[in-house]
Amino acid sequence: MCFTGLLACATPSRSTDTAAAAQNDSTPVQPCPTPPPGNPGDVLITANAEGKVHFSTTTVQVQAGQTVTFVSQVQQDRCIGVSGESLFKEGSQNPLLVPACQSASWTLRGKDPQGSHKLWSCPMSDCSKCNEPQGITETINGTLEVTGRGEN
């Protein structure tokens, strides 16, 4: 699925448990009673029939200087991390707390943040307790692709 405009172009996930689900989640996750809607280009956090968390895409393509928004449609706080904190404008949190049934976003720096960066996730409300996983079974196996340079 590709969205027009400069904001983002997201490729559909290869819908497999190892690619899109956090493997270390032990308790089933329930969907939100009234899930917040997402906008084109947002990464949606959803739960499948078994209560495992999935992401609407595992590859997020975005231009430098733009914003990446994660929208939680599940009743679980999640921390989303990315390798390479130098990507973000000063003051951005990494990992980013996405509260249950809410949204949160990162704004990328406008200058020279091009490249591919690993995304990962953990089911916590305190992101300081999350560390970048070492094994693929613990990650969402996703990437944040910064595809162009911004102006600043």
The CB density around residue 150, as the number of other CB atoms within 10 Å, is 17
The CATH homologous superfamily of the domain defined by 43-147 = Cupredoxins -  blue copper proteins (2.60.40.420)
Tens of pLDDT, residue by residue over 53-71, are 888 888 888 888 888 999 9
pTM, whole model, 2 decimals?
Answer: 0.75
Q: What's the confidence (pLDDT) of residue 89?
A: 78
Q: How do the domains of the chain map onto residue ranges? A: 43-147
Rounded to whole angstroms, the Cα distance separating 55 from 87 reads 21
Tens of pLDDT, residue by residue over 68-117, are 999 999 999 999 988 877 788 777 888 999 999 999 999 888 876 778 88
Nearest to 30 by CA among 48, 8, 5: 48
Tokens of 58: 């595992």
HSE on the CB side for 99, CA within 13 Å?
A: 2
